Structure 1
Amino acid sequence: MPNIRILTETDLRKVIDLDQDAIDCVQNAFVALATKDVRMPPILRLDIDDYNGEVDVKTAYVPGLDGFAIKISPGFFDNPKLGLPSVNGLMNLFSSKTGMLEAVLLDNGYLTDIRTAAAGGVAANHLARKDAKHATIYGAGVQARLQLKALTLVRNITSATIWARDLAKAETCAKKASLELGIPVSATSDGKDAAANADIIVTTTPAREPVLMADWVKPGTHVTAMGSDAEHKNEIDPALIGQADLYVCDSQAQTR
C-alpha cells in the first residue's frame, strides 16, 4: 500500500484561500469542462428528509491530470440551530493511473466553500457590468460572505446588502463582512428592498420557494443563483430567468 497523506481543514486553510489564484483555478476547470473530454458523471444525491439534510457525491476526471477526487458533501440545513455548520465533508484523491488512494482531505466543506465562491467570482467577472458597485447577497451563512468577497476580487464593489429572513442573522453576517472587506454592508429581511439598488445579486440559500422575485430586479443586474443545486430547490422566480438577456449554466446536463 502506498503512503496516504491526510490533510485536515487546518492544514488546507494554511495553503488555500479565496483569492485570485482560486478564481483562476476554477475558471481553468470550466474551460476544461467545455473544451476537453472531461468525464463527469451525474451527482449522486441522498436525501435525509427527516433531518432536512442531503448528501452529495461528486467526481470528475480531466484527461492529462495525474489524479482525480471523489467528494462526499453532506448538507444538513438545521445544523446551525445545534451550533454546527450546515455543510461539511471530505475529499479522497486517487491516482489516475492506478486508482490507488493517495490522499484524504478532511476539509469539513472548506474546499467546497472556496470552490463555490470562486465560481461566483468567475461568473461575475465575465457576465456582470464592469461598473457594478453594489452587491446584494441573499443568505447569511458562510457562503454569503465568501460570495461577497469573491465579487470584490473581480469588481470594484463599494457597498453591499445581506438579506435573510432572520434579521439578526443578516446583521451578524453583514458586520463580519464589513470588517473583513472594509466596505459598508447593510442588513435587511425585506427581499424587495434588498434587490432595489443591486448591480449584482447572488443567492446562496437552500430555499424551496423563491426568495427573489422577477419584478424586484432592475434592468442590467447580474444574478448568480448558487443555492438551487437540486430539483426541489427554487431560490429565484422562474420568470426572472425568462426575462434575462442571457442565461449561463456551468453544466447543461445538471440543469435538466
Structure 2
Amino acid sequence: MAREIVLDTETTGFDPKTGDRLIEVGCIEIDDLLPTGRTFHRFVNPERLIPPDATRVHGITDDKVKDAPKFAAIVHDLVEFIGDAPIIAHNAQFDRNFIDYEFGLCRHGLYEEARWIDTLKLAQTRFPGMPNSLDALCKRFKVSLTDRTFHGALIDARLLAEVYLELRGGKERRLDLSTARTVASTAVMATAGGHGARPRPLAPRSTEAERETHLAFLRGTLKDHSLWQAYGLEVGAA
C-alpha cells in the first residue's frame, strides 16, 4: 500500500451547478492503511449565504466563514497536501463535483476519475442491500461517533479513515504480518538452537533448604529406585 488521502467536504447544498459552494474541506493522510498524523483542514468563504437546512447538518453559519479565505486562496495548499496520492471519499462523486467546480473557477486542472476511490461503492460491494451511509458503517464496524455532534469535514474524514481501514481488511492484514514476523523469528531461533535472550539453564527458584529436604527424601525413601538413576545420575549429584 502507498500513501492515500481521505477527503471530506461540507457545502451549502447538493449541487454546484445550481449555485451551491464548498465551505469546508478536511483531509487525513494515511500510509499503508494507517493514519500518519498529518491533516489538512480549511474553512472557505462560499461568497453566498448558507441555507438554514445546510447549517442544521454541519453547524456552519455565515458568521463562521465570513472571514475565511476564498477557495482560490487555499487551492495550492490543498493540492500540495494531496500530492499524487489517490483520494478516498464516501459517495465520492459528491465531493468530486464540488472540488472540480472550485478547481474550474480557479482555472486549475482537475483530478482524473481514476484517482478517486469511493468507499460507498466498496461498502455496497461488501454489504449489498444493507445501509451503507458513513454513520451506518461506523456503527457496523464499532467506530465511535461520540465526538461528532454535527457533520464536519475533518471529523468525517477521520471516521472515514477508520471505516476505510475496515473495508480494506487492514486489521486482519496487520495481524497476518505480525504472525509472519513471529513465525520468522521462531524459525531463526530454532536454527540457532537457542531460546532468545533467556538464560540456560534457568536460575533455580527453590531455596537451598528446600533442595536439601528434597535430596533427603530421595535418599531415605526411594533408595535404589530413584527416577534419576534412569538418567545415570546419582541422588545428590551436582
* TM-score range for the pair, normalised by the shorter chain length: under 0.3
**Which structure would you say has the larger Rg?**
2
Query: Larger % of helix: which?
Result: 2
State the TM-score, normalized to the length of structure 1: 0.22
Higher RCO structure (Cα 8 Å, ≥6 apart): 2
